[in-house]
Chain A
Amino acid sequence: MQNTEAVWLVQAQQGDQQAFTNIVEAYQKPVYNLCYRMLNNAEDAEDAAQETFLRAYRSLKQYDHNRQFSTWLLSIAAHYCIDQIRKNRMTLISLEDQPDREIPDKLPGPESILSKNEVQNRMRLLLEKLNPTDRAAVIMYYWYDYSYEEIARSLSLSESAIKSRLHRARKEMARLWMSQQSKLIPAERKCHESPVF
């Protein structure tokens, strides 16, 4: 895969569009996932992923082969999403009010959809509370198993800054999770209570 990718990259740098299309095919999922988790919206994520590939395609000649391509690509995606979040901050709409646009993998039953959506919503709320850079770091940490060094390189920050950001973000999310749990428990109790009592 690495060799094939290297060949595609060289061909793409020489202007072969088909070679870059192969790269798009190979990296569409990780790029889209990052954009989706960052922006919490399928349409915006699609646009951001498209824009990421377009920017990568346009600046492919500047790509340094000593650097890992996935890190470079996700770095473009992360920076674009951070910019988008900052731009949209003025017209911020509560994501809790938005319908879930997650594409189901198969056709699960209604209960499964409900619980899945609930979990997704809780995760969204957790991510939403983080600032854009922390959010990108968390996504790279959990979904891509990136090392601190790789995250730091992707987000143009120092390794120590990433460590402290992740430490702070995980703490914040755990606290938020605790508060979510405390809100959920009384509601769950009410559901199970008999109307007779």
Chain B
Amino acid sequence: MNHQFFENLLLSDSELTQVELTMLQEHLQTCEACRQFSNALEDVDHLFHNTPIASPAVGFTQRWQESVIQDNKKRQKRQIWLILIVGVCSISALFALLGFTILPVLISPIAVLWAELFNLVTWFSAVEWIVGVLLTMFRAAHSVVPTSLWIALSFAFMGLCAVWVVAFKQVTAPRRLVI
């Protein structure tokens, strides 16, 4: 006998066809195991459907409000701790960085002074070299381009500057709204 099939029929939530229903009823009349299973299933369904909803103890909402206050306090504390930890870590990192920068000066100040002096001299020589290059280029251009063209170019440049200033004022000036 296929008990599994009838058990599935008993557990089914969808409505059974007339044929299935007849088959099930006939089977239940002859099969003790399936009858017991059917009764047990009915008992369980009945038990669950008739058990009332459990209620919390009186004052649940009040306790919830208190727990919200407690939770807020906890969160604030956590935030304060977080800010403190981040602050301490940042300051420590800053000090460490500063330490790494200052440490060579503390160990051998004269060597650091010499190194810095060397850097300064290098910078000066670089600037001097750039100025020299620019001057050479200017002289070369001066000998090639005639003076009248220089004057024309200067005026053109000034005109462009004036156009730019006017355009900029037009763009940035507040506009009057027409309603």
Which A positions have Cβ atoms within 8 angstroms of B?
17, 21, 24-25, 28-30, 32-33, 36-37, 42, 45-46, 49-50, 53-54, 57, 102-103, 105, 119-120, 122-123, 126, 138, 142-143, 163, 167, 170-171, 173-175, 177-178, 181
Contacts and interface: CB of A to CB of B under 8 A. Distances in A.
A50 B67 contact: yes
Contact of B63 (A36, A42, A50, A163): A50
B137 to A, nearest CB: 64
Interface in B75-92: none
A174 B37 contact: yes
A174 B41 contact: yes
Interface of B: 7-8, 11, 13, 36-37, 40-41, 43-45, 47-49, 51-57, 60-61, 63-65, 67-68, 71
A28 B61 CA distance: 8
25 contacts: A21-B61, A28-B55, A30-B53, A32-B54, A33-B54, A36-B54, A46-B56, A46-B57, A49-B60, A50-B67, A54-B64, A54-B68, A54-B71, A105-B55, A122-B47, A123-B48, A123-B51, A126-B44, A142-B49, A170-B11, A170-B44, A171-B11, A175-B37, A175-B40, A178-B40
A178 B56 contact: no
Query: Which of B36, B45, B47, B54: most chain A CB closer than 10 A?
Result: B54
B109 to A, nearest CB: 57
Contacts, number: 88
Nearest to B60: A28
Nearest to A32: B56
Contact of B53 (A53, A57, A143, A177): A143
A25 to B, nearest CB: 5
Main secondary structure of the interface of B (DSSP, over half): helix
Given A29-B56, A49-B56, A123 B40 contact: no
B40 A174 contact: yes
B44 A173 contact: yes
Contacts of B61: 21, 24-25, 28
A100 B104 CA distance: 74
Contacts of B51: 119-120, 123, 143
Given A28-B55, A174-B37, A177-B44, 17 more contacts: A17-B68, A24-B60, A28-B61, A29-B54, A37-B54, A42-B57, A46-B57, A50-B67, A54-B64, A57-B68, A119-B47, A123-B51, A143-B48, A173-B44, A174-B44, A177-B40, A178-B40
A178 B37 contact: yes
